[in-house]
Amino acid sequence: MDFKVKNHSLNFVSKQSNELSCLSFYEKIPINDIDLETLEFYAVDRLKVLWEIERLQTAKKDYETAQQLSFVIDRYLPLSNKSTTEQRDKDLISHFLLRCCFCHNEEDRIWFIKNETKLFESRYYSLSPQDKRKFISENFPHKPINFQLLDPMIKNSLLMTDRLESKFYKIPFTEAGELIGSKKAYLNQGFAYFSEKVIGKIFRTQFNQKIAIGLQKASNIFDKFDERIQKMIEKLRSKNNTFFQFGNQDGTHIEFDELKNKIKSFPLCMKLIYEKLIQDHHLKHQGRIQLGLFLKGIGLSVHDSIRFWKQEFLKKMTEKDFEKDYIYGIKYNYGLEGKRVNWSPYSCPKIIGLKPAPDDFSGCPFKFLSTHNFKQILLNLEQKPNEEQINELISLKEGGHCQVACQRYWDLVHPGLDEPLNKLSGIEHPNSYFKYSEEYYEIQKEKEKEKEK
Amino acid sequence: MIEFNQNLKKPRTEEEIQKENQDKTQNLKIYYDYFFPFQQIFEWLSYGNLDFFHFREFSFLSSNIIRRFVSFENVTEFQRYVSMNIPQKIDYGAIYNYPPNKRNEITEFQPKKKELIFDIDITDYDDCRTCCSGTNICNKCWIFLVVAIKTLEYILRNQFAFRNILWVFSGRRGVHCWVCDKTVLDSSDSLRKNIVNFIFFENDEKKPLTPNQLEIYNEILEPYFKKVIETQELFEKPENWQKVLKFVKEEEIQKKIEKDFEQLPDSKSRYEYLQTMDYSKILPQIIFGVIYPRLDINVSKTMNHLLKSPFCIHPSTQQVCVPIDPQKCEDFDLKLVPQLNNLVDEFNEKGINSIPQSKFLNYYIKKLFIQDFLDKLK
Ligand code: SF4
Ligand SMILES: [Zn+2]
């Protein structure tokens, strides 16, 4: 047994570990006394990070993804060489707990390895230069080569990749892994030559392999755990499965009854489809999928989703017809029928690319609405925009910058922020629009409370 | 221009077809019994270890049925099987952790070793060929495959330091490459993927050339490009040079070059024009686009892919899949590739004595397969 569970609070053993680099390949299991709730709290935080990584992979721009990612990591799993022992332990312990959660089948293993590797990589690249050197010296057994002694052709080739002052290394290509695949090393007679700045790729490959091997052994670790921890891990597993089922990433659920209050956070595309549905008690196929997946993404369960569609559709058809024609499609969206793929909610680029039929409100309104109708919508807003704002939005829309327009629209309908919540240039996903909006209303609520005090 | 497309022949009657198939089978039997180098193939595939042979997947095509996961304990079994079934095609797969024909006896049946293979097909160059298209091939378009062979040879030998490489004509319109070095045999799928990604060139790469790519450019691609232009007459007329200039990424520059090309008198001056300072950055884009080897990378990335055996007879061209000397691949003449009919006709005429002096035995088997390849494996 490796973590001892105590009923009182934390009690740490491994103090001297702070001398070592904070990043690790997770080869040693920490020995600590720790209480069960803390364990669970650690694991859930890590799960949140991994899910966020998964979600961001669908986003397009690398730079923004990196920024958002380090934001999430700092929030839930901060780690640097200055980190406290507690932070370091949180990282190690949560990793080993999740290994036990994800070791049971191939699909889980692949998912875990993929996202853990991303996490590792992101952390590696945000190390300070000194910390990076430290990590390299601890984990990379090769000495830099003497540049001056190299063959002139190799010298020239290396100087195309980095400055003369850098350290260069030479290893057999078979050990260079992704450095080869990504063409970051110079290959000559079976050896890979490269500068220190790309060593990260080797670590990435190593990390990947080590975690894969670790996962194969993880079920043994699991068996040795004390029963309470085993139970907790089982609970985590099912929690992770519900993330899957609800299709959303941060694990929030939305109850059917809450839905009405959430409409104000819908992006314009979803709001229009929703209004169309309320008006016609019916929706065409494309709109059903677009809205249906979005609702799944914000955390509506299959069960509630069926209730939601029924509530409108039954105003125009019999229950029997509904069951016959529509239940399948709803379950399909949740991966419970047909191909059994847990379809992700459509991203903005996907929605913008849709071709809505006339009078079908699917697609992105910043693309398909006529300028006249668009202006009408703006004028009817509760948060009256001024002339300048209207013109800006219209010109963005006419320029085809749907996502940027959508972003400005968000700013418009969420006034009163000291600093706009989301500084990115353009909305990436209707579900992130929703998320930012929810966060906004949270903050507003807190402000209200403050005022009352 | 010789065309090897069988469909161009006049339609045949049912009877004729039957007769022809019978003849083919008979010829094939003679070929397998007297020409096919079983012993040498065995020596190659076993790499000095009988288990390697025994655990190797064989696959056979006969009467339109493919049988996969066949395996043999020794060369006699292999030979007997082929002689009895007279397959139209023989393929080799990976070496597994268990004899493939008994794979149901264990739960984790997995490939363990495999040569690194490449498959290059002339049809992948259709957008740049000016002489033929589709399954047709002639000595003029062979130049694309020459460049592919030279380039891969350079990468595999000079950059990766591989030594045991076998090139084989695929029997119709392409070439196969078997890399048999020990480091490769043992490499995991992930290392394989990395090797292949290293070699593969993405055409929309906006990145500057890597030092290794630059090397290939200077050593192989640029010198050969002139030959390709000449042979394929790529700079002779607008519809030809459009095939080349489409690789210029900036549309405006492409338009400008097209215009200027029309003003220039001949192919040579057009090429020189591209070499001027203004376009020295554009030329690599074009050259990589047109002649860098176009690989079917999925064949190379995983171990379980099959590849046709050297010395097979191509089912529709009747040509022998003979080894190619990479040093002399420019001189490889499609018209001179041994054909099943010719081999067997001569055999029928002169009997078994026809073989000892034949080019088939002395050049393709003894020189290219044994001396240049097999002996070096040991
Ligand atoms: S930009 Fe995205 S979220 Fe905004 S309306 Fe268009 S599709 Fe919906
Ligand atoms: Zn041709």
What is the C-alpha separation between B63 and B25, in angstroms, rounded? 10
| Distant-in-sequence contacts of A221-226, Cβ < 8 A, 24+ apart | A221/A2, A221/A29, A221/A96, A221/A99, A221/A100, A222/A100, A222/A103, A224/A1, A224/A2, A225/A1, A225/A2, A225/A3, A225/A100, A226/A1, A226/A5
Please give the average per-residue pLDDT across B236-253, as a whole number: 91
What is the C-alpha separation between A392 and A397, in angstroms, rounded? 9
Please report, as a single letter, which amino acid is at residue B170.
S
Residue of higher predicted confidence among B279 and A45: A45
- The verdict on A352 and A427 lying in the same domain is yes
Which residues on adjacent β-strands are paired with residue B61?
B66, B89
Q: Is residue A115 part of a domain?
A: yes
CB B245 within 8 A of CB B286: yes
State the pLDDT at residue A14.
Answer: 44
pLDDT at B334 > cutoff 50: yes
Residue (of B108, B75, B114) closest to B95 by Cα position = B114
If one counts every other C-beta atom within 10 angstroms of the C-beta of residue A308, the result is 18
Q: What CATH number is associated with residue A77?
A: 1.20.930
Query: A188 contacts in B (CB within 8 Å)?
Result: 158-159
Q: Does B215 sit within 8 Å of A180, measured CB to CB?
A: no
State the pLDDT at residue A10.
Answer: 32
- The verdict on A159 and A174 lying in the same domain is yes
- Which three-class secondary structure state does DSSP give residue A141? coil
Residue with tokens 């400055």: A163
- The verdict on A224 and A153 lying in the same domain is no
State the pLDDT at residue A337.
Answer: 66
Please give the average per-residue pLDDT across B218-238, as a whole number: 95
- The verdict on A327 and A376 lying in the same domain is yes
- The verdict on A194 and A107 lying in the same domain is no
- The verdict on A101 and A29 lying in the same domain is yes
Query: Domain boundary residue among A166, A183, A199?
Result: A199
What is the C-alpha separation between A258 and A262, in angstroms, rounded? 7
Residues near ion ligand 2 (Cβ under 5 Å): B 131-132, 138, 140-141
Residue (of A285, A259, A263) closest to A274 by Cα position = A263
CB B285 within 8 A of CB B249: yes
Q: How many structural domains is chain A composed of?
A: 3
Phi, psi of A23 (to 5 degrees): -75, 145
Chain centroid to CA A406: 21
Query: Which tens digit of pLDDT belongs to each residue from A280-304?
Result: 999 988 999 999 999 988 888 888 8
Phi, psi of B268 (to 5 degrees): -60, -45
Among the listed ranges A53-67, B184-198, B252-266, which one has the minimum average pLDDT value?
A53-67
Helix axis angle for A302-313 and A285-298, nearest 10°, is 140
Which ipTM did the prediction report?
A: 0.90
Q: Is residue A355 part of a domain?
A: yes
Start-end of H helices in B246-361: 251-263, 267-275, 282-291, 297-301, 340-350, 359
Distance from the CA of B142 to the center of ligand 2, in angstroms?
A: 7
Q: Is residue A238 part of a domain?
A: yes
B218 touches chain A (CB under 8 A): no
What is the C-alpha separation between A91 and B122, in angstroms, rounded? 53
User: If you ran DSSP here, which 8-state letter would residue B221 be given?
Assistant: I
Q: Does B212 sit within 8 Å of A157, measured CB to CB?
A: yes
Tell me the pLDDT of chain A (453 aa) as tens digits.
345 444 333 333 344 455 677 888 988 877 777 788 888 888 888 888 887 787 676 554 565 667 777 777 888 888 877 778 888 888 988 998 888 888 887 777 888 998 899 899 888 988 888 888 888 888 888 999 999 999 999 999 999 888 888 889 999 999 998 899 999 999 999 999 999 889 988 898 889 989 998 888 887 777 777 788 888 887 777 666 544 443 444 556 788 888 988 999 999 999 999 999 999 999 988 999 999 999 988 888 888 888 899 999 988 888 888 888 888 888 777 776 665 566 778 888 889 888 888 778 899 999 999 999 999 999 998 888 899 889 989 998 988 888 888 988 998 898 877 665 544 567 888 988 898 888 888 888 888 888 776
Query: Which tens digit of pLDDT belongs to each residue from B13-38?
Result: 778 878 877 888 899 999 999 999 99
Beta strand B89-96 with B307-308 is antiparallel
Confidence of residue B10 (pLDDT cuts 50, 70, 90): low
CB A297 within 8 A of CB A431: yes
Q: Is residue A12 part of a domain?
A: yes
Q: Is residue A81 part of a domain?
A: yes
State the pLDDT at residue B264.
Answer: 93
What is the C-alpha separation between A114 and A112, in angstroms, rounded? 5
CB B289 within 8 A of CB B278: no
The whole domain housing A155 covers: 141-199
- The verdict on A282 and A425 lying in the same domain is yes
Distance from the CA of B204 to the center of ligand 1, in angstroms?
A: 29
Nearest ligand 1 atom to alpha carbon A270: 8
pLDDT over 90 percentage in chain B: 77
- The verdict on A172 and A74 lying in the same domain is no
Query: B158 contacts in A (CB within 8 Å)?
Result: 188-189
State the pLDDT at residue A2.
Answer: 45
Start-end of H helices in A6-105: 36-56, 62-76, 85-101
State the pLDDT at residue A341.
Answer: 63
Chain centroid to CA A220: 30
CA atoms within 13 A on the CB side of A235: 13
State the pLDDT at residue A19.
Answer: 64
Q: Is residue A249 part of a domain?
A: no
- The verdict on A300 and A165 lying in the same domain is no
- The verdict on A106 and A167 lying in the same domain is no
Residue (of B247, B273, B244, B251) closest to B260 by Cα position = B273
Burial of B251 from C-beta contacts in 10 A (0-12 / 13-18 / 19+)? exposed
Residue burial A137-176, b: 16+ Cβ < 10 Å; e: rest: eebeeeeebeeeebeeebeebbeebeeeeebbbbbebbeb
Q: Is residue A250 part of a domain?
A: no
Query: B191 contacts in A (CB within 8 Å)?
Result: 174, 177
- The verdict on A304 and A408 lying in the same domain is yes
What is the C-alpha separation between B56 and B103, in angstroms, rounded? 12
CB B310 within 8 A of CB B168: yes
- The verdict on A217 and A149 lying in the same domain is no
Q: Is residue A107 part of a domain?
A: yes
Active-site amino acid positions of B: 57, 119, 121
Helix axis angle for B282-291 and B142-154, nearest 10°, is 110
CB A390 within 8 A of CB A408: no
Q: Which two tokens stand for residue A7?
A: 């009923």
Say which of B187, B197, B213 has its CB closest to residue A181.
Answer: B197
Which positions 141-160 of B are in contact with A (Cβ < 8 Å)?
Answer: 158-160
State the pLDDT at residue B229.
Answer: 95
Query: Domain boundary residue among A188, A215, A244?
Result: A244
Q: How many CB pairs under 8 A join A and B?
A: 53
Radius of gyration of chain A from its Cα atoms, rounded to whole angstroms: 26
